[in-house]
A and B are shown apart, each in its own frame.
Chain A
Amino acid sequence: MAQALYRRWRPQRWENVIGQDHIIQTLRNAVAADRVAHAYLFAGPRGTGKTTTARLLAKAVNCLEPDLANRPCDACENCLAVNQGRFLDMIEIDAASNTSVDDVRDLRDKINFSPNVGRFKVYIIDEVHMLSPAAFNALLKTLEEPPAHAIFILATTEVHKIPATVLSRCQRHEFRRIPHMEIVEHLQRMSAGEGLEVEDAALQLIARQATGSLRDAISLLDQLASANEQVSLERARQVLGTVTSQAVVDLVDYLIHKDTAAGLELIHRTLDSGSDPRQFARQIVDYLRSLLLSKLGNANQVDATAEIRERMAKHAQAIETSHLLNMIRAFNQAGNEMRSGWQPALPLEMAFVEVMEQSAGSGEEERKLPDAKPTRPTRRAVVKIPMEESPPTGVPEIETTVESRSVNPVDQESRETYEKIQQSWDPAIIKQVDGINKETAGLLRSTKLLGMRRGVLIIGFYGQILKQKMEAGNHLEITEKILTEFIGRTVPVRCLALNDRQSEIPADVDLDGMVAAALRDLGGKIVDVH
């Protein structure tokens, strides 16, 4: 029975370890200078080379090669013994199967005997996060001051489960995920070495799927490999259940053009042809993320062909950032949905329809707002006040229905004034204030302009303390004076304290009205507007 590729290609020399130069260099130097520490901790995600490096280090310290810098030589008696797994002084312990304190006591009893053949006894404790707390504690003394001939190497994927007392006794090395390109290059070398024919695009897909874990990538290649056939992108896609990038682009197209029917049919078609719904959702998220990146001006971080880039630019223009975020959220959730036994396609369909609803909602509002403003009819808002703040009469929830006085028809003049202030608030007005009183200017910088009601300018502070400070000294007077100079007439100023909830007071709610009071002072929440 042939060994799996990832075992056959386990690096046997320092040079062959991929993507962990920062660690390998340190360890090589330590071996060359004969200054190897007595305890190491290797941490990092799966398939990044922890066990491999641990074995290499064990090999290096026991190698017989006279030139220290050249160890391990991979040719001497000891090196060969390690390669074949029959070296007596490299003790590899599966901490996940030997978790108990008795196992550690056993280790402690035996560690004092000197090595059989090599210079050092190397204890590799793999999956060390599974040791019981008692076992960790039993190890502490030995780990701190082991006999001169012993070296500990602990390896784990879950470093947060290791007690601090163990961490502080070890030299800790963090293994990184292996960059995409290095995986591809390594796979190319391997397939050449194994005589496999692999399409370049398939390698790219494999590497992307592996998300930085070399073992994942090699496993996949192993699975796809077959002696007489080329590994094609088509085959890789079928095994992985990924969809073509065209399908993803089309789906986003339908989202933008609000074509529900076509979108749902596309989802059905892709899944029917054998794609995995989770993979599909993830690919959509991936694409949307690229859109987000290119929208935020980081287009060069996106790894795509010129053709797709062009489509992307078009899409990026058609979607608003906030909507894009919503889409990413919805599809991300679909990708993580665990329970989908009944209807595998359902999470995707739901995400699609939800996004559609949101875009329809926001679109309507945009259209409604501008022309609805001047003649808004009297509206009633239902405010729900959370339970903990309701009076202790046992009534769980109070629904107050209040008439929010319709917004005073904002007279032209005051709106113009507000716009003028808004434009020159920061820095022009604040700068003038700064000339008179620096503290006032400082306070004003941490405010938010909320609006103008009946000729009174309303500014909001993030917190009660700032608001009180503003009202305490002559800060208001200074501000009003500057504003008067600026506008040409008296503009009174009112302060409000905002907290995160209050910042949600919609623009059309009268700040003095009962709705605002319920929102601000009672911690209510608008649940419905009639």
Chain B
Amino acid sequence: MNWNLLGHEWAVEMLRGKLQRSQPGHAYLITGPEGVGKRTLGLRLGAALNCLTPVVPGEPCFTCRNCRLIERMQHPDLSVVQAEEIGGTLKVDQVRELQRQLSLAPYEAAYRVALLLRFEEAHPSAANALLKMLEEPPARVIFILTAENAERLLETIVSRCEVLRLRPLPLALAMQGLQERWGIPPEQATLLAHLANGRIGYAVRLHQDGDFLDRRERWLDDLMRLLPANRVERFSYAESQSRDRAALRLLFGIWLTFWRDVLLVSGGAAVPLTNVDREAQVRLLAERLSLKEARQMVSRIEEALFALDGNANTRLVLEVFLLDLPVLQALPI
């Protein structure tokens, strides 16, 4: 049954084993890249802990009141704590409020579940304030933390938790899931699975963001157009794209995947590409550029992304990158 999840069987199996022997750990840390299914797994664990009519022990029914409320994050014994916005800060007051709640017995369920999302965004004092309770919580309290990776948390936090490192799904499984569960046509599903690198949640988000694929198409075309272009054209492009920082980040992200493909092909590796639909162009570029040049382009984009994170001038970043972009004769597209 696998808790109605796609993939991550080993994690589910391990957790289910603990539940069947009614020995759940008191603190879990679920890590993995964005959109890989950390929160979903956390919620399913909460449901499995509190399900009123489990199918078999450790296998929630997803139909009883507790299961439904937890899935919707509305259960009174489920406390969800997270920074107000993505990229924000989880504040120490939120942790103190949580501690107050957790010191009360569960309201109706068997366990109180504290779900702390994106815990790498926690302020250091918030993380420290959690330490003592995380080590020895009150009876019938389960902590579930999620974070992008454990290194960004305090060592002392990680050492108190059982760490589940979620990894992207194999591409075939992700493609199949996208088609069957979300009814995405095969061709698009293949592309989305590759673009999201097997992170199913991320793929779905891309799918729901209607014009993402169009924008990606446009950006890659732009890149092709810029390769033979002269400086004047490149600079006018930089000007046109520099208004929106978030979009620019996304643009560099797309270009990064593209140049990585070039890098892999020019290294001669038989590895599936991210931009499967652009394979012809990737191969063409790989032929014209050396491995070193491809590697340098990837480095440049990484630098650009780093600069954007550091609040650098968007137009300047794009201009610098376009200056470094090799000038090639027009590619037969």
Contact = CB atoms under 8 A, between A and B. Distances in A.
A239 B291 contact: no
A484 interface: no
Given A1-B24, A216-B159, A264 B267 contact: yes
Interface residues of B, number: 68
Contact of A346 (B24, B133, B260, B291): B260
A278 B151 contact: yes
A227 B10 CA distance: 16
A342 B267 contact: no
A276 B25 CA distance: 23
B65 interface: no
Contacts of B272: 268
Interface in B247-301: 253, 256-257, 260, 263-264, 267-272, 274, 291-292, 295, 298-299
Contact of B197 (A2, A219, A344): A344
A336 B22 CA distance: 37
A157 interface: yes
B23 interface: yes
A260 interface: yes
B167 to A, nearest CB: 6
B139 to A, nearest CB: 7
A96 B132 contact: yes
B253 A1 contact: no
Contacts of B305: 339
Contacts of B38: none
Contact of B22 (A2, A157, A356): A2
Contacts of B253: 342
Interface stretch (B123-131, B181-189, B212-220, B325-333): B123-131
B72 interface: no
A353 B263 contact: yes
A278 to B, nearest CB: 7
Contacts of B151: 278, 336, 338
A126 B135 CA distance: 12
Interface string B1-42: 000000000100010011001111111000001100000000
B168 A344 contact: yes
Interface in A330-377: 336, 338-344, 346, 349-350, 353-354, 356-357
B109 interface: no
Interface string A85-111: 000000000101101000000000000
Contacts of B269: 260-265, 268
A272 to B, nearest CB: 7
B270 A130 contact: no
Interface in A200-233: 213, 215-216, 219-220, 222-224, 226-227
A46 B155 contact: yes
Contacts of A262: 269
B298 A223 contact: no
Interface string A223-256: 1101100000000001111000000000000000
A240 B163 CA distance: 9
B256 A45 contact: no
Given A97-B96, A222-B25, A260-B267, A238 B10 contact: yes
Contacts of A216: 158-159
A278 B149 contact: yes
A274 interface: yes
Nearest to A347: B302
A72 interface: no
Given A157-B156, A349-B264, A340 B33 contact: yes
A343 B14 contact: no
B139 A97 contact: no
Given A276-B165, A344-B168, A46 B159 contact: yes
Contacts of A2: 22-23
A51 B24 CA distance: 24
B152 interface: yes
Contacts of B159: 46-47, 213, 215-216, 219
A97 B99 contact: yes
Nearest to B111: A1
Interface in B291-321: 291-292, 295, 298-299, 302, 305-306, 309
B12 to A, nearest CB: 13
B205 interface: no
Contact of B167 (A7, A224, A274): A274
B150 to A, nearest CB: 9
B208 to A, nearest CB: 19
Interface string A1-42: 111100100000000000000000000000000000000000
B23 A1 contact: yes
Interface in B66-93: none
Interface string A311-345: 00000000000000000000000001011111110
Contacts of A222: 25, 162
A338 B260 CA distance: 18
Interface string A285-314: 000000000000000000000000000000
A353 B267 contact: yes
B267 A130 contact: no
A350 B128 CA distance: 35
A96 B197 contact: no
Contacts of B170: 272
B121 to A, nearest CB: 14
A127 interface: yes
B222 interface: no
A354 B295 contact: yes
A264 B295 contact: no
B148 interface: yes
Nearest to B96: A97
Which of A1, A260, A339 is the most central at the interface, judged by chain B CB atoms within 10 Å of its CB?
A1
B25 A349 contact: no
Nearest to A264: B269
A408 B140 CA distance: 85
A274 B36 CA distance: 13
A260 B291 contact: yes
Interface string B190-229: 0000000100000000000000000000000000000000
Given A219-B161, A354-B295, A261 B256 contact: no
Nearest to A223: B162
B160 A343 contact: no
Nearest to A94: B132
Given A4-B26, A127-B128, A357-B292, A219 B162 contact: yes
9 contacts: A1-B22, A1-B26, A1-B111, A127-B131, A223-B25, A227-B21, A265-B271, A338-B149, A342-B197
Interface of B: 10, 14, 17-18, 21-27, 33-34, 95-96, 99, 111, 125, 128-133, 135-136, 139-140, 148-149, 151-152, 155-156, 158-165, 167-168, 170, 197, 253, 256-257, 260, 263-264, 267-272, 274, 291-292, 295, 298-299, 302, 305-306, 309
Given A1-B23, A278-B149, A338-B149, 7 more contacts: A219-B159, A226-B14, A265-B269, A268-B271, A342-B197, A342-B253, A350-B295
**Which are the 10 A-B pairs with shortest beta-carbon distances?**
A264-B269, A261-B268, A96-B128, A94-B132, A223-B162, A2-B23, A260-B267, A268-B271, A46-B159, A46-B156
